[in-house]
Amino acid sequence: MDFSSLHTPVLLERSIELLAPAIDHEGAIVVDGTLGMGGHTGALLERFPGLTVIGIDRDPQALAIAGERLKEFGDRLQPVHAVYDEIGDVVRERAPQGVDGILLDLGVSSLQLDLTERGFAYSRDAPLDMRMDSTRALTAATIVNEWSEADLRRIFSEFGEERLAPRYAKRIVQARDSAPILRSAQLVDIIQAATPAALSRVGHPAKRVFQALRIAVNGELDALSAALPVAVDSLRVGGRIVVLSYQSLEDRLVKRELQRRASSTAPQGLPVELPEHSPELRLLVKGAGRASDEEITENPRATPVRLRAAERLRPAPATSATRRGTTSGSAP
C-alpha cells in the first residue's frame, strides 16, 4: 500500500510559516508530538536542512511508516514511541537545552481512520478497538461491554457532548445483556435505533459516541492537559509552538493554556510589573486559525481544524511544577 496517499497534512503551509522564524538555523530542533505518518515532519525536514525533528507517536504502526517514508533524512528524524504528555521526559533525554519548535496535530490520524481494522470509523464495520497504541490493553469493546451505565453516560456527555447520552447508555447496557457488542456496526445499529427520527437527519447519530469512546480509550484529554504546560516549558526563548485541534474540547484546553501563559501574573494594583510576572508567551494568531475553503475542498478533514500558536518570550520560573514532567496515565 502507498501509505503516503492516506495522509494529507492539514494547514501545512501555515504551520511551517509560523514555525519558520524559530527553526530556520543550523542545529534547530523541533518536537513533532503527533508524528503520524510524517506529513508535517517530512515537509519541515525538506525545507530546513539544519533541522532535526524528534517525532513522538503512541502508534507503533505510524512510527514504522513514518520511519520508512522519511528514511532519506537519516538521523535528522528521531522517532520515539511515547504519548505526547511525555514530551518533558523526551526533551530532557534528547535535547536537554530545550527545543526551538513544537508541533501538535491532535486527534485521530488518517492512518487510524482509513485502516478499517483499527475500528475508529463508524461508517465501516470493524472490531471495536480504537486504540492509538495497540500495545495498551483498554479497547472500546471493553468500555462498551464492561463499564457501568453511569460511566457510559458520563463519557458520552463529557467527551462527546452528546445530548442523548442517557438514552444511548441505557440502550447499550440493555443490548449487551443479550449479547456482547464487539463490532462497530453493532454499536451503530443500537445508536441509530435509539435516536429519534428528527435528530437522525442532523448528522450521523454515532459520531459523538465514537468520539467519546476514542477519547476515553486513549486518555486524550488528560494527556493534552498534561502535555501543554510541559511543552511550553520545553521551548527555548524564541521558540514557537503550533497546535492543531479538531474538536472543541481540545481547542478549549489549548486556548486556556496559551492565554494563561501569555498573560501577566502581576497582582492587581502593583505599580511596576516585575520581570517574573511578565507574560511567558506571545500569541501569534488572533483567535483560532482556520483552513481555507480551497484546502477544505481538497481535504475535507481540514474542515473542523482550529490552529493556535505562540512564541516563548522568557523562561518559566525555576520552581515551575511543570518542569518535573509527567508520564502518561491510564484512560478514564
Per-residue pLDDT of the chain (332 residues; tens, 9 = 90+): 455 455 678 999 999 999 999 999 999 999 999 998 899 999 999 999 999 999 999 888 889 999 999 999 999 999 999 998 999 999 999 999 999 999 999 977 665 565 666 667 777 899 999 998 888 899 999 999 999 999 999 999 999 999 999 999 999 999 999 999 999 999 999 999 999 987 766 678 899 999 999 999 999 999 999 999 999 999 999 999 999 999 999 999 999 999 999 998 777 767 666 667 789 999 999 999 999 999 999 888 889 999 999 999 998 766 444 444 444 443 44
Report whether 42 belongs to an annotated binding site.
Answer: no
Cα distance between residue 137 and residue 36, in whole Å: 21
Report whether 293 belongs to an annotated binding site.
Answer: no
Identity at 242, one-letter amino acid code:
V
| pLDDT on residue 119 | 67
Q: Which residue in this structure is represented by grid cell 520581570?
A: 275
Question: Grid coordinates representing 304?
Answer: 473542523
| pLDDT on residue 323 | 43
Report whether 269 belongs to an annotated binding site.
Answer: no
- Which among 268, 303, 309, 305 has a CA at the least distance from the CA of 286? 309
Residue ranges per domain, the chain? 3-111+220-324, 113-218
Q: Which CATH superfamily is domain 113-218 in?
A: Putative methyltransferase TM0872, insert domain (1.10.150.170)
Cα distance between residue 241 and residue 175, in whole Å: 45
Report whether 168 belongs to an annotated binding site.
Answer: no
Comparing 3-111+220-324 with 113-218, is the CATH topology the same?
no
| pLDDT on residue 37 | 87
Report whether 259 belongs to an annotated binding site.
Answer: no
Report whether 105 belongs to an annotated binding site.
Answer: yes
Report whether 40 belongs to an annotated binding site.
Answer: yes
- HSE at residue 138, side-chain half, CA atoms within 13 A, is 16
Q: How many CB atoms lie within 10 A of CB 171?
A: 18
| pLDDT on residue 198 | 75
| pLDDT on residue 324 | 41
Cα 96 to its chain centre, rounded Å, is 24
CATH architecture of 3-111+220-324: 3-Layer(aba) Sandwich (3.40)
